[in-house]
Amino acid sequence: MITRLNHVAIAVPDLKKAAAQYEALGAKTSAPQDLPEHGVTVVFVTLENTKIELLHPLGENSPIGKFLEKNPAGGIHHLCFEVENLETASKTITDLGARLLGNGTPAIGAHSKPVVFAHPKDFQGTLVEFEQS
Amino acid sequence: MITRLNHVAIAVPDLKKAAAQYEALGAKTSAPQDLPEHGVTVVFVTLENTKIELLHPLGENSPIGKFLEKNPAGGIHHLCFEVENLETASKTITDLGARLLGNGTPAIGAHSKPVVFAHPKDFQGTLVEFEQS
């Protein structure tokens, strides 16, 4: 059901500096892209088998803003797993006793695909996004 | 230079419960393996493109023990990137102004390959392991 790790999202206080670190280490990085509907500016770091998404707050109500207040040096914000069937995965997660964030209804994620998030306290202390592949 | 994300390591308070969550979601998991020289018991979760390593403390001086005291629900402990040449990567990291943990000399990691760790404060608030591929 889970197939691939789509990306690791890392919130960073300085997008240029973080991107430069990955570039110096030979990884390909994208130009910064503003995603105003998600309150973030993102730089994609392409590795051979997956992506790192470097996130920086955009606008006043960014979901990353509070995270960076608590973690001023940055930190891993979430993991995103691809699933073959989001409805089945959502049911499995709640059947396991784990909560989904919000009302559990899939939202459209940053890749324009339906996503749900599991509650970190119910899933190894880790914010996990499940994305319809 | 960085080629692949080798794994995401997640410290968990309950190895069986964490493994069961991934199994229910259709991922393959290994039997728990004790790595006494690293102070952890690990369950490998195999995805199509990378691995999740679920870590639990083993013994009294486990590096995971303090982490779980601070994060009782668990949490992402580190990322591991494969690099083609660990010596070159180490020099690049320090040339960027980021510190390496310890004395910066490669140690033998949990996969029996040489590894170094970058200081989280100098690398997006994230503990990053670089492993010779």
Report whether pLDDT(A81) > 90: yes
Q: Residue B119 sits in a domain of what CATH number? A: 3.10.180.10
- Taking the C-alpha atoms of residue A79 and residue A9, their distance in angstroms, rounded to an integer, is 6
Distance from the B114 Cα atom to the nearest Cα atom in chain A, whole angstroms: 17
Contact assessment for residue B115 and residue B82, using Cβ atoms and an 8 Å cutoff: no
* Local structure of B1: helix, strand or coil: coil
> Does A129 participate in catalysis according to the annotation?
yes
Contact B2 A50 (CB under 8 A): no
Q: Could you report the predicted ipTM of this complex, rounded to two decimals?
A: 0.95
Q: Most distant CA pair in chain B: distance in Å?
A: 44
pLDDT given at position B110 = 87
- Taking the C-alpha atoms of residue A94 and residue A90, their distance in angstroms, rounded to an integer, is 6
- Taking the C-alpha atoms of residue A58 and residue A64, their distance in angstroms, rounded to an integer, is 8
If you average pLDDT over residues B77-97, what whole number do you get? 96
Report whether pLDDT(B61) > 90: no
Q: How many domains does chain B have?
A: 1
* Local structure of B82: helix, strand or coil: strand
| pLDDT band, residue B59 (cuts 50/70/90) | very high
Report whether pLDDT(B45) > 90: yes
pLDDT given at position B7 = 98
Given B50, B72, B92, which is nearest A49 (Cβ)? B50
**Counting one residue from A and one from B, how many pairs have CB atoms under 8 Å apart?**
122
Look at the block and give the residue holding tokens 């591929």.
B133
If you average pLDDT over residues B26-50, what whole number do you get? 97
Q: Is A120 part of the contact surface with chain B (CB cutoff 8 Å)?
A: yes
pLDDT given at position A61 = 87
Distance, CA of B5 to chain centre: 11
Report whether pLDDT(A97) > 90: yes
Domain boundaries, position B62: 2-132
Burial code (b: 16+ CB inside 10 Å, e: under 16) for B76-93 equals bbbbbbbbeebeebbebb
Q: Express as a percent the part of chain A with pLDDT over 90.
A: 93
Contact A76 B76 (CB under 8 A): yes
